[in-house]
Amino acid sequence: MPSSGSGVEEARVSVLTPLKLVGLVCIFLALCLDIGAVLSPAWVTADNHYYLSLWESCWKHTNTEDSWHCNSTLGTDWQIATLALLLGGAAIILIAFLVGSISVCMGSRRHFYRPVAVMLFAAVVLQVCSLILYPIKFIESVSLRIYHEFNWGYGLAWGATIFSFGGAILYCLNPKNYEDYY
């Protein structure tokens, strides 16, 4: 058996910890949910006669079976701000996912943990701002006299935000002590 003074050094191998792998999966899910939220036609719906997405507002008259009438929602500043904040957060999540994926392929992953966590926290801040702004300004500016509800597109955006926050927390956990354990 070689002794500790024999000149043989232990090779330091950086392993992929399960927490970071789960964090990367959270980032991927957040990215998928963000794409679904941005493309969703239903952020707000009302009695099968009205729906509002990030891109357009559509309605159908109740007394006729005519087609849907749609207008762009990009004419109001709060809807543009909501879309910009959500897309900004999604872009940051995409960059964090790419950095996290590249770090899996490289031997020195520890250097990427903090930047990925910071990017994810920044994305969470942007998306929470957009998801708080949206219902406040919607209720303030749109006067629907019928029952309306925030629908699955809005829920997908919240899901993306929650998964981003979870990924950020997982990337914040003390990587040095955890990797040394393995």
In a domain, 156, yes or no: yes
pLDDT in tens, 141-172: 776 566 778 889 999 999 999 999 999 998 88
Total of domains in the chain: 1
Instruction: Say if 96 falls within a structural domain.
Output: yes
93 assigned to some structural domain: yes
- Which residue stretches of the chain are H helix? 18-39, 77-105, 110-141, 152-172, 175-181
Question: Is residue 90 in some structural domain?
Answer: yes
What is each CA distance from 54 to 39, 98, 99, 128, 160, in whole angstroms? 8, 26, 28, 16, 16
Burial (Cβ within 10 Å: 0-12, 13-18, ≥19) of residue 89:
buried
- Domain with 127 in it: 18-42+75-181
Q: What are the structure tokens assigned to 46, written together?
A: 């009302």
CATH number at residue 27: 1.20.140.150
* Within-domain flag for 66: no
Domain assignment present for residue 123? The answer is yes
Residue type, 156: L
Average pLDDT over residues 133-147: 78
**Residue 54 belongs to a domain:** no
Structural domain includes residue 59: no
Report the predicted TM-score, pTM, of the whole model to 2 decimal places.
Answer: 0.80
Structure confidence by residue, pLDDT tens digits, 79-127: 899 999 999 999 999 999 999 888 877 765 667 888 999 999 999 999 9
